[in-house]
Every structure is written in structure tokens, then in C-alpha cells.
Structure 1
């Protein structure tokens, strides 16, 4: 699913360590992120069949003070997509469908369905509107059960973002359609097919779909944020809404079985796996992101859903698997993964350090009060409460902003930075939100 708009920021301190084993370095790294509330979950790191780290960090439930352990169960959001794509490839191997099949074969009345292929759905090149971009729907309907008709109504009649195949744009709608196509072809539920084709053969016994109704003492509680002061619990997205784009829950141990299953060609043939691992537009394969910039091929994917964040990264050449599952919805895991790779390949790495805050006068803070519009349906309200600048985006919790410079702020609870931009007369005209390498402007409307 889509990532949350606000996330935690920190600087880093270069370190030089001598005499530490890789296990000790990995443990030190994850502990450092955990102390800054940057990682709260479980980590499993293996190389050549040897477990280097298998540990829980922080709380699976803040209120009851129950700790995360290796067996804690998390939602994994968009990592679900690689399971969906594998089922599609399995059906293609069995000649139940073709990747060149038109969407119109399965949905004759889908607008421009004769121009969209299963390949386009797999690679996010269909141009179909991403339903999780509908802020109002996600705010009011995501927690409710939804059937196929209701979900199709969210995106089916939206104008395509571009001519199919010409560009890349991440679309959960495309993977939702793949799930429905799987049901049409197999004549059984998507969930039953995944269990039959993948979970059961690989003995992924702690994996499933309906997290809302899961009754298991190892189930983690999802949070928008966890800080030293407080925590904000997240509502759970119904599995019928996240579906084939992001409904799976699992453990690190089960995902390691998934890694081994891929490595051993247990589910689909190696030729199919290589198709999935081929980077098409924007380095995206079939449910995997492929990093071909280094001499070794890294296959990876993250997943974010209300209250949860996950990442899996693999280097088959060296039998490396990095699995990070987090029950706080901030996407810092890609950065942690990069640091882990640095340790595994004996490269320089850095430990995180909290950012310093400076004091700003109330006169300056009051200048920033107002409504800032990213798009008509997504706005950011900025106010001053008890001398503290706070911001609240549409459909999201309220967060405190801490000054790094007079017009530049960071968040402690989630990873984001905010810059306020003024005109020549000193009037604030817009803010710029910095998140995950993206720069998002928001015009001040009042």
C-alpha cells in the first residue's frame, strides 16, 4: 500500500569500528535505530544459510508493554505484490492465462481495457488510477469490508494517467485487478490460491490475510507513531480493501521460507523468476524492485499500510536475505537496509543521531499558521499550540514541528522535514514537504 506522507528525520554520525563481528555491528545498528524510535519491530538477516541476526525490538503493544519477538506477526503491505505476481506466473506456466492477455478479456466493459495487458498491471505501466490516492476513500472506507463492485467503482471510470505501456506509475489498483483475475481463472478466492500455491508448500504457517480478525497472541498492534512521550494507534485496513495489493500478514521466519523457496525455484520455474526480476520501467519487475546499479543484483520491495511498514531485500548471488518488519508506519526501513548491506559487504556505514532543535520566537511561528494545499483533496493545517508549531495533514494525526533553522523544521515522531518559503515582502507563500527523497510543495491558501 502507499506510504504515509509524514516520516522521522535524523542526521548521522560516521563511526569507525574495529574488531567487531558482523553480528555485533548489526546488533549495534538496530539498537541505535530503536533508541531513536526509528525501528520498532523484528529483524532477520541471513547470509549463506547462516542467521546473523534474529531479534525483536521495541513493543508489539505499547499499552501492555509486550515486546516484539522473532515470532511477532506483522502486516507487510505491498510485499504482498510479489506473492500476487508469482501466482500470475504460475498460472501462465500452466497456460491458464498469458501476460499478453488484455484486461478486456476479463473485464469487457473496462474503459480502454483492450489497451491494457496483464504485463502492464504487473509492471505498473497500465496508467490506471491508484485507488489509495483517493484520500477521502482511504480515510472513511478503508477500514470497512468492500466487495469487488465497490472497489472497482473507486478507480474503474477514472481517466487513465497515460497511454498504457508508455510510462510508469505505481498503482495498487493494478494489483487489485490481478487478484480479481486470479479468482476468475482459478474459480476460487485469491486467498485460497495463495495458500494452496505458496503458503502450504513452503510451510508458511504463520501467514494469512484477515489481520483484523486474527486471534493470535503474537499479533502486533500497529501505530502511526511511537515516541518517548506517547503513541498513536492506527486503524486497521480491511483485507478486502488492501487485497492482492497489500493484505498479507506474516513473520520474519515465514518470509525467510519465501526467500528460500524463490532461491530453490520451489514455486515457479527459474525462467519465470528471471522475468519477475527483470527491471522494466523505473527498475520495477513483477512485484519486485530490481537494483542493478551495483555488481550484484538486489531484489527488494517495501510495504506500508496503516500502522505497519516492512522491507525485504535479497542478493541471490550471495544468498543474502534482509527482512525488517515494523509496527510503526514510518518508512525508514530502506535506509536501515542500506546500512545493513554496508556491514555485510564491509563498507563504511553510519549510526543515526538525533537532530538538534533550536528555539524560535512566537512572532515567527505565528507567521506559519495557515492552510497549505498539496492538492484540492489533500491539505496541511499548520497551527501553534502552547508555543509549539504543529501540522496536521488530511486524514492523518497531528505532529509537532521542531525548528532546525528559522524556516526549516523536522519531526521527531515521523520522518519528514518542512520548509516555509516567503516572498520578497516576508509573507509566507508555501511550504515544501521533504519525504523519502521527494519534494512536495503546498501553496498557502489562507
Structure 2
């Protein structure tokens, strides 16, 4: 009996020691990750990682207020931006469960005079498949308008008479307007304002005491100042009337309250498990393609495990929340810097670390022959053509005229797309020839087939410095000024803050290192450079100033 007890105690201590080491490793990994994201004297953020409702990591970084120097705390309140959409979607599903409406109801049922409203369903609005024009992208959405308070009806009037982007249900395009309409439907059906409905049906029952509809006139404890900028240069975010994001992006919350939200969702306390499963399932288009969006959530995966997520970007704030339903792992990363867009990748990396399957892409060597075998054009019926080019001893992936993304080989036929969590996995036929590739990442998997149409890839040559110096100067493309300059023997092109490395592939021809664009310098009969032609999808000529 004593021997059995000793064996049990021994195994128990080993288990506890292993669990403690894993927790310490996770803490160390996440500390390293987020200390590199948030600077001590810059706008900061809060990071929460939990499993089954229990925090594994909960820390604040950086500053809450740059002017006072007040540090960030885990109690601070952030604008959520588009994370609001999941609360709107769940509110709709609550009304469905109460029999107040149906996902197949048409928009005309609630707004009888809405153009094409009979062809637009609530489900289409939830999944961004309604084709309703995005009001925040319209010319009428001016800086002056952003300072005005508008009612839901006035908001709808901004886009109501705009033509549809496509036949409802046939395609998918992210549109804030759809969630404005859903907020208005909630008000029409419930008889309560959107603010009142979410407060009474979600925040109050879940004791989400620090979550509310944003109102700049109210005194809200621990509400943060929001900023824009980077590299030590920050400005206060411009004013935005929070009546404008409305049901698409006007909520405030804390990381702690978001933990309450996801814990309640997973337990079936807000909507049924059946309704939640619908929200967590990608909409499927008539052609069988998954859109990668459910009801208020993007649908994807973290290292092969299903995830639902959303980012939020609103004046002064960038937020990202990832949830893995099967493992009940939650990652919430909230920042009071609108330009902190790398949080999206950081949140997914944190989720993978909590899962115990961190992302690793250790570069392996390829021979020139191996590397060149991947060079080709590739086709996808829905997303068009992509190119993979062997250039300067590296592989790059790009669209025609688009930015080049460096491909980092980490396994045979497997490449990481630099600064992303996406991987390109090549497939081969029975003879070992490359026939296509698929892109796998945190979203839907997409497949491209190898094209038989050859394409030329310019290769770098050396030119004497005297030749390079002949191209130095400023060139006018209409009102835009493009400057060519030489630094440490390397030619650069710059327009505004955007600067590109230029490599020669002919005496007067250059290509951009990280952009699918070519520059051809033109000379007069005396050999004096007078203009430059930019070839990037189309041609433009800039004249030397």
C-alpha cells in the first residue's frame, strides 16, 4: 500500500513539475513576443490568454496616456471597433431564438422602401454577402461628417440608394453597412435602442460591468486615450462621433470582460450551442466556395485547429480577438494605437503557443536549380493570377503590379510568406513536376494551378556608378514628385515616405526589389535623361524637373 502511494505521489509530482515548466515556458514566450510589440514609453496594450475560462497570461504594456505618462493597466477600457459585430450578430440570434425574426427574413420586412430589399436577407447581412455598399468607403464619409452625430436612419440614408456591389448571396465583400442595417433591425424588432438591447440582454446578465456603448459625453472610468503613429512619432487620434460606427463598431470593453463573454458563449448562456455553431461556420457561396466569414466572426484555423476571430480598427485603437472553440483557448490583444496592425499576427502566434504548437519557420538552403523550379505563373479561377519569381537568389510571390512577398523555405516544397503566418505548399505530379500550390494560414486554404504561359523575370546586373549618377534627380508624375537618389552605391526611388530599392537589369532599365514595377529612363539625342517611364500594370511617364 505504501509503495502504491509513493508511486502515485511520484507521478503526481512529475505531472505538477511538467505543468509548471510548461506554464513558465508560455509566460517566457509571450513576454518575449509582446515586449517586442509594445514599447515602454509608447501607446500600450493589454494581452489576455486563457484556457477554459482560466487566465494563463494577463498583462499590460506601455502607456495609457502619453501626455501624463500614466502606465497601462489591465483595467483600462478600449474601443473594440469591429469586434462589436459579434455582439450584434449574437443579438440577432437571440431574437431568432425568441421567434421574433428569421435569418431568411428579407430586409424589406423591416425597411419596406429599401431598394432591392426583397433580395437581401438577414443572413446575407450577417455574412457580408448582401452586396450592400460599404458606407465608410464612400466619398460622402468625409472628415467633416465624422464629427457629426447621426441617427441609425440618417446613417442608412448615406448608402441606401447606392447600387449593389453584386447580386445578394452570390459573393462576399466586407461591409460595415450590413451591420448598420442589423442594428436598426434589432431596434425595430425589440422596441429598444441598440445600446439598450445589448446592455439588457448581454452586458448586464454576464456582469460585463466595464462594457458599454461608447459615448464621448459620458464619464467612463478607465477609458483610454487613443493614438496614431509609430517609431516615436505619435498624434492624438482624430475625433469620431461614435454614433457613426453604431452596431458595426461602437462598443467599449476590457480584456477581462471579453473573457466573461467567451466563457458565457461556450457554456450556452447567451445563445444555444446550435446557434453558436451557425455563427462559427463559414458562409458557402453558390459555387461551393467558403467565404471564411460566419455571423460576426472570421472563420479560420490556428495550426490546424479551428479558430474564430475578428480584428477591430477604429480611431485610436487596434484590437484583435482569437478563440479556439474545441480547446476553449482565448487570446485578446487590445491596443490604444490604431496603427499597431502587427497585433493580428501576434494574437495568432500567442494562440498557437497556448495550444502547444508554436509557429516555426526555420530557413533551409535550396540549390539554384531547386529554387528556379518553382518560378512560374499560377492561376486560381476566383482570385486570378499569381507569380513566383526566382530573383537575386530568393523566391518572391506577387500579383501583377503588386508588392513582392519573400518566400522562406522551411521544408521540401514548403515556404513561409515573410511577415505572415501563411505558408505556400507546392504539389507535384507523378513525375515529380510542380503542378500547383496551396496557401494555408489562419484563414481558408486557397489553391492555384501552374500556368503554362511563360513570363520573364528581370535579373540584376552591375552598372558603373557614373551611369547610375545620370539618373539622379526629381521627376514629376502630374502633381506627384518621384525622387531618384544614390546612397552607398545603391540607387533608390522615393515618393513621399515610400522608398524602394532599384536594381538595374539594363543600362536604362531598373526593377523594384519589393514591388512588381519597372522603371525605364529616357534620354534625348544628346544622351541627357529627360524622363522616366514607370511600368506597373499600366505605363506612366514622369518628366525630369
Which TM-score band (shorter chain)? Answer: 0.7 to 0.9
Distance 2:171 2:42 in 1: 34
Post-superposition shift, 1:326? 1.0
The superposition leaves residues 219-265 of structure 1 with CA deviations (integer Å, 9 ceiling, x where unpaired) of 1111121432x212112322211000000011101111111011111
Q: How does 1:100-179 map to 2 (within 5 A)?
A: 100-179=104-183
Q: How does 1:197-346 map to 2 (within 5 A)?
A: 197-228=201-232, 230-280=233-283, 281-292=290-301, 295-330=304-339, 331-344=341-354, 345-346=356-357
Post-superposition shift, 1:124? 0.4
Distance 2:351 2:118 in 1: 43
Post-superposition shift, 1:402? 5.0
Post-superposition shift, 1:54? 1.2
Distance 2:183 2:85 in 1: 10
Q: Please, which of 100, 121, 127 is the counterpart of residue 96 of structure 1? A: 100
Contact 1:212 1:236 in 2 (8 A): no
Contact 1:420 1:428 in 2 (8 A): no
Post-superposition shift, 1:40? 2.7
Post-superposition shift, 1:167? 0.2
Partner of 1:5 in structure 2? none
Q: How does 1:24-35 map to 2 (within 5 A)?
A: 24-35=28-39
Distance 2:245 2:469 in 1: 44
Change in 2 beyond 3 A, CA 1:63/1:49 = same
Instruction: Give the TM-score, by structure 1 length.
Output: 0.78
Partner SS for 1:313: strand
5+ unaligned residues in a row in structure 1: which ranges? 1-17, 354-359, 372-380, 392-399, 411-416, 433-440
Change in 2 beyond 3 A, CA 1:326/1:214 = farther
Change in 2 beyond 3 A, CA 1:350/1:208 = farther
Q: Report which stretch shifted further, 325-334 or 199-208.
A: 325-334
Contact 1:339 1:350 in 2 (8 A): no
Post-superposition shift, 1:285? 0.3
Distance 1:19 1:179 in 2: 42
Instruction: Give the TM-score, by structure 2 length.
Output: 0.65
Post-superposition shift, 1:160? 0.3
Partner of 1:378 in structure 2? none
Contact 2:42 2:62 in 1 (8 A): no
Distance 1:27 1:350 in 2: 20
Q: Please, which of 187, 190, 193 is the counterpart of residue 183 of structure 1? A: 187
Distance 2:90 2:533 in 1: 50
Post-superposition shift, 1:370? 5.6
Matched, 1:45 2:46: no
Distance 2:215 2:536 in 1: 37
The superposition leaves residues 326-366 of structure 1 with CA deviations (integer Å, 9 ceiling, x where unpaired) of 1111222211122213322232448999xxxxxx9997573
Contact 1:42 1:324 in 2 (8 A): yes
5+ unaligned residues in a row in structure 2: which ranges? 1-21, 284-289, 363-417, 420-467, 487-492, 504-509, 523-530
Q: Please, which of 9, 21, 41 is the counterpart of residue 25 of structure 2? A: 21
Larger radius of gyration: 2
Partner SS for 1:54: strand
Query: Larger relative contact order (C-alpha < 8 A, sep ≥ 6)?
Result: 1
Partner SS for 2:49: strand
The superposition leaves residues 27-49 of structure 1 with CA deviations (integer Å, 9 ceiling, x where unpaired) of 11100112499983111111234
Q: Which has a greater percent of helix? A: 1
Partner SS for 1:309: strand
Q: How does 1:58-73 map to 2 (within 5 A)?
A: 58-73=62-77
Change in 2 beyond 3 A, CA 1:369/1:75 = farther
Contact 1:301 1:311 in 2 (8 A): yes
Partner SS for 1:273: helix
Distance 2:230 2:243 in 1: 27
Partner of 2:358 in structure 1? 347
Contact 2:147 2:240 in 1 (8 A): yes
Post-superposition shift, 1:143? 2.5
Contact 2:477 2:540 in 1 (8 A): no
Post-superposition shift, 1:198? 0.4
The superposition leaves residues 58-82 of structure 1 with CA deviations (integer Å, 9 ceiling, x where unpaired) of 1221121112110111101110000
Distance 1:333 1:38 in 2: 15
Q: Report which stretch shifted further, 44-53 or 152-161.
A: 44-53
Contact 1:100 1:117 in 2 (8 A): yes
Q: Report which stretch shifted further, 86-95 or 145-154.
A: 145-154
Contact 1:431 1:444 in 2 (8 A): no
Post-superposition shift, 1:100? 0.6
RMSD (CA atoms)? 3.4
